[in-house]
Amino acid sequence: MSGAIRVLPNRATKAVSLLRTIQYTHPPNCPCHSNPGHHHHTQHQQRSQVTRFADRVQNGSKRGYATPSQDPSRLKEYAFEMAASSIRFGPGVTREVGMDLSNMGAKKVAVVTDKTVDKLEAMRVVREALGGQPGIEYKVFTGVKIEPKDYSIKEAISWVTPYQPDAFLAVGGGSVIDTAKLMNLYSCYPEADFMDFVNAPLGKGRPIDRKLKPLIAVPTTAGTGSETTGTAIFDLASRRAKTGIAHRNLKPTLGICDPLNTATMPSAVKAASGLDVLCHSLESWTAIPYYERIPRPTNPMLRPAYQGSNPISDIFSLSALRSTVKYLPRAVKDPEDYEAQSEMLLAATLAGVGFGNAGVHLCHGMSYPISGQNPGYLHAGYEVSDPIIPHGVSVAVTAPAVFKFTAASNPDRHLAAAEAFGVDISNVKRESAGEVLSEAIKNFLEGLGDQPRGLGELGFKTGDIDELVEGTIPQARVLVLAPGLATELEREREELRGLFEESLVH
């Protein structure tokens, strides 16, 4: 084990150095409203590799800047922002959380986890670390629901509000970290209605204009990248739709990425979590460029967190994609392959920075109704009592159809993604980019094993498609970034219907 882990510091140090640069350039209190109520798409071809910033600026300069005579709602974006949590990466760093909270001046800490993680080594180390700091009181909430629902979030908020902690510590997967983010948010806004901050158009999309409490996130899965982002996702049970809250101020103050904490993940959880990394990488890499997004914000505080692909996110996204293709099959097949597990945790964090600033698009937008309208599927390997379509499974099941569809807007970039899967693209025609990438994704999923071959194996039928389409339409925050998707509503419905139909069977 020690031999495998010793190879990580050089790569991890480089990644953390860039993360720190971003963090210090755009600290956590940078306000941002990230819930556009409409979407607009423009096709644009991109080069197969990360393009020079100077090229983008030169291309963008042809559009000019805002003038009083122009309609602000029709102006394209001309700038992008980068923000991410501070990240500490290394085997054993979990034991430092007590000192971190003490350094932050914390006296009362709400520790958030789930019943499974509460029994694992990560929580034993956390309790030991907190117990070793005189003057720190803490309480542990273990009631997090995997793939959280609005009602489970409300139960967590009710638990924490009377406790009034001055800091939060989340130990677990994305469900735990996202729940902790919202416990933090609503305990700081006790007068707010729950729907106030939920992404528009399902909710009001209210921006977060108060300083939240410090939050340290300790991921125990390698998937969501939630330790780096200002996004929290949950099921809105009454609407049978997945939605969330997205704002830069939700970002954890610090992400503690300890490869030792992911060693206990069951194989099925490793696979599903890794598929989320795969789609985070692919979607942020292929999202419309930031300079094609409309409208240009009239105030910097209105610039969304999900901005479109950009030169910095591109670096993180492509690196994460390559690592996932290389290491996820190894991590799933061999529980003793600590190098693969460590590299997947790093890939999840890198992808989190990539999509946390560039955004995701169709796979995620379509996944929300897939999860929310689950006809009764229970994924093998998950120890839960209720039916569950793991998030990574719900995003990956449409990926072959999605990237075949989006390739026409930027074939070179889709070919670069296919190359990351090991495809020799030297003789592939650009018009074949979609088919080639789609086939590469299918082969990867088949090689990973135990993955549903289409929505049909999740229990969905042709008669369910219209409801799945209607559950996707409200996901404007991510659909705005989908290359090639129609802007006219009926045409958009038709295209989404075609994607769901194609995804019924791989």
Convert the pLDDT of each residue in 356-402 to its tens digit: 999 999 999 999 999 989 999 999 888 788 899 999 999 999 999 99
Three-state secondary structure of 126-172? HHHHHHCCCCCEEEEECECCCCCEHHHHHHHHHHHCCCCCCEEEEEE
The pLDDT assigned to 13 comes to: 56
Band (pLDDT 50/70/90 cuts) for residue 4 is very low
Give the rounded percent of residues in the chain with a pLDDT score beyond 90. Answer: 77
Q: Is residue 460 scored above 70 in pLDDT?
A: yes
CB within 8 A of 330, min separation 6: which ones? Answer: 337, 339, 340
The pLDDT assigned to 477 comes to: 87
Q: What is residue 480's three-state secondary structure? A: coil
Q: Is residue 61 scored above 50 in pLDDT?
A: no
At residue 324's C-alpha, the angle toward residues 322 and 329, to 5°, is 125
Whole-structure pTM value: 0.85
Rounded CA separation 295/291 (Å): 10
The pLDDT assigned to 372 comes to: 87
Of the candidates 320, 253, 251, 261, which has an alpha carbon nearest to the alpha carbon of residue 285?
A: 320
Consecutive H or E run containing 256: strand 254-257
Q: Is residue 317 scored above 90 in pLDDT?
A: yes
Tell me the fold of 2-34+82-262: Rossmann fold (3.40.50)
How many other C-beta atoms can be found within 10 angstroms of the C-beta atom of residue 126? 28
